[in-house]
Amino acid sequence: PPERLRVALSQKAYDIVIGEGVLRRAGAEMAQRLEGRRVVIVSDQSVAPLHLPTLRESLADAGFTVAAEILVPPGEASKSFQHFERVVDQTLSAKADRRLAVLALGGGVVGDLAGYAAASVLRGLPFVQCPTTLLAQVDSSVGGKTGINTSQGKNLVGAFHQPKLVLADTSVLRTLPIRELRAGWAEVAKHGLLQGPLWDWCETDGPRAMKGDPEALAHAVLESCKLKSAVVTEDEFETKAEGGRALLNLGHTFGHALEAECGYSGQLLHGEAVAIGLGLATELSARLGLCSQEMPGRVREHLREVGLPVRIADLPRRFSIGRLMARMRADKKARDGAMRFVLLRAPGDVFTESGVSEEMVRTLLTD
């Protein structure tokens, strides 16, 4: 049977349903929670041929009408004003009223785009997430952040819009390219380091999950969603100065800088950048005497075992330290130009810190 996790937010609560074959139950799960019986489905051109038929059938069986199917090209470029306008237009053309639900079937790109359209049309339509990448199941579908990219940068336009329901079917991960699966694992490992016992589990059972063991994958998704939803309910609108959602940025100050240097080109996936970032953040913590000296080695060994790059030197290209430093100063999470890191004393014991000397960071990147 699927696992159910209740996310309790101030005004609204919703369920995350996790397990093998959850997509086949989508209609039944939605019928219990939605007032209307009309939906608009947003997906991408790679995911739709693989998984949309299952969803369609499940919706029809539960008495839902699909008012529109909107497919965008796969890839980050679809999180644009142009595709946002298309989704909004087609949703309105489907005779939108406040009971029309928007359903995202896809990875984080589709979820962020569809979620932002759902937040915007008639100032908010019910939104259902069917995340189909590991990254989307453990990270982007939880937390309520939606949005698109602009020429000024990634995720700069968006809204908080919580879903009514998240349906994470772990069986759809079987069609996911292995590189994408591994990239999603970087966020699972990050959640492990934030949570504690989940880290130990990752070290022993992570490789099994990466080989496709359904029980291990479902456990990884469930525990990740628990951790992320706990952090998010504490800090729903990212207003906390210390701790809170900022902790989810473990490994990301470094990761974002590497990603930005690669131009979000697919040359380096977000999760790959985060894997290197987790290694660096742990190394920095060890050099500052905060965590044990063997911790960076453990983190890198685990990430390497599941097939992720763990050092900047693992990448096929070279980076300018000066440019990486400038990127980290400009990171939107930086405060007054001071780089902000999430540091670790031990798995389950992390905190945000803005007082790390630039010299220390530069040396770390050079070594």
Contact positions toward ligand NAD, by CB under 6 A?
Answer: 44, 46-47, 50, 74-76, 79, 106-110, 112, 132-133, 135-136, 139-140, 143, 145, 154-155, 172, 175-176, 180
Q: Looking at 164, 219, 245, 333, which residue is catalytic?
A: 245
CB 124, min distance to ligand NAD, A: 17
**Helices and strands of the chain, counted as H and E runs:** 13, 11
**Catalytic choice (182, 228, 300, 327):** 228
- Cα Rg, the chain, nearest whole Å: 20
Is residue 211 part of the annotated active site? The answer reads no
Which strands, in side-by-side order, build the sheet including 165-169?
A: 3-8, 13-19, 165-169, 127-131, 101-106, 38-44, 65-72
Closer of 168 and 324 to ligand NAD (Cβ): 168
Residue 252 a catalytic site member: yes
3-state SS class at 144: coil
Q: Which is nearer to ligand NAD, 257 or 361 (CB)?
A: 257
For ligand NAD, the closer CB: 117 or 172: 172
Question: Is 270 noted as a catalytic residue in this protein?
Answer: yes
| Minimal distance, residue 287 CB to ligand NAD, in Å | 28
Choosing from 6, 35, 123, 359, the catalytic residue is: 123
Residue 162 Cβ, how far from ligand NAD at the closest point, in Å?
Answer: 11
First to last CA, the chain: 49
Least gap, CB of 37 to ligand NAD (angstroms)? 26
Which entry of 164, 256, 327, 333 is annotated as an active-site residue? 256
Alpha helices, DSSP H, located in 132-269: 134-135, 178-195, 197-210, 214-234, 252-262
Q: How far apart are CA 109 and CA 106, in angstroms?
A: 7
Classify residue 274 as left (phi > 0), alpha (psi -120 to 50) or beta: alpha
| C-alpha dist (Å) from residue 75 to 27, 111, 113, 180 | 27, 12, 11, 12
Q: Which amino acid is at 247?
A: L
Nearest to ligand NAD of 52, 291 (CB atom): 52
Active site residue 149: no
> What's the min distance (Å) between Cβ of 72 and ligand NAD?
9
| Residue nearest ligand NAD, CB atom distance | 108
3-state secondary structure (DSSP) of residue 318: coil
Tokens of 367: 């070594």
242 as an active site residue: the answer is yes
Catalytic annotation present for 145: yes
Residue closer to ligand NAD by CB (options 248, 339) is 248
> Is 245 annotated as catalytic?
yes
Q: Does 228 qualify as catalytic in the annotation?
A: yes
Residues carrying an active site annotation: 123, 145, 187, 228, 242, 245, 249, 252, 256, 270
